[in-house]
Amino acid sequence: MYLKPTSALCVSLSDLERIQGHPEKAKEVLLYGLKHCRAERSKLFMALAWLEEDMFFNRDEAVKLINQAIKIDPKNVRIYIAKASMELRRGDISGARQTLESSCKLPSEDGQHYTMLGLNVVPLSYITACHSSCRRFTKLD
């Protein structure tokens, strides 16, 4: 008897294939996961987006995939962090800032998006504005 794969299992197997130098096999595993997994599909889209950008240098496809992940899981802050990181690698600081500001409106126990917004995206001259924004989003003011 065979059990259906999970998204997490497919992402893990894909990572192992990539580490062993088999990016095509890694992609194949993720595409298989998208075809057969119903839960947590955004993880598969995120992993596939990263693979397309990092291993195949296909930034346009990576952007489409990360946007697909957001479309199916719009409250997942981790996807916004991945998108902002992608935008930063492309030199799109304004886009990354907008993405992170959008993520700050979502409920999350994870503060990584605040850290990125405060340290990586906002120029030093805007640190005061960032500080007040972070305090406002965390409801400390």
- Interval 86-112: pLDDT, tens: 998 888 888 988 888 888 787 777 666
The domains of the chain, with CATH numbers, are 1-74 (1.25.40.10), 91-141 (no CATH)
The band of 124, judged by pLDDT with boundaries at 50, 70 and 90, is: very low
The predicted model scores a pTM of 0.77
3-class DSSP string for 72-124: HCCCCHHHHHHHHHHHHHCCCHHHHHHHHHHHCCCCCCCCHHHHHHHHHHCCH
- Interval 15-70: pLDDT, tens: 999 999 999 999 999 999 999 999 999 999 999 999 999 999 999 999 999 999 99
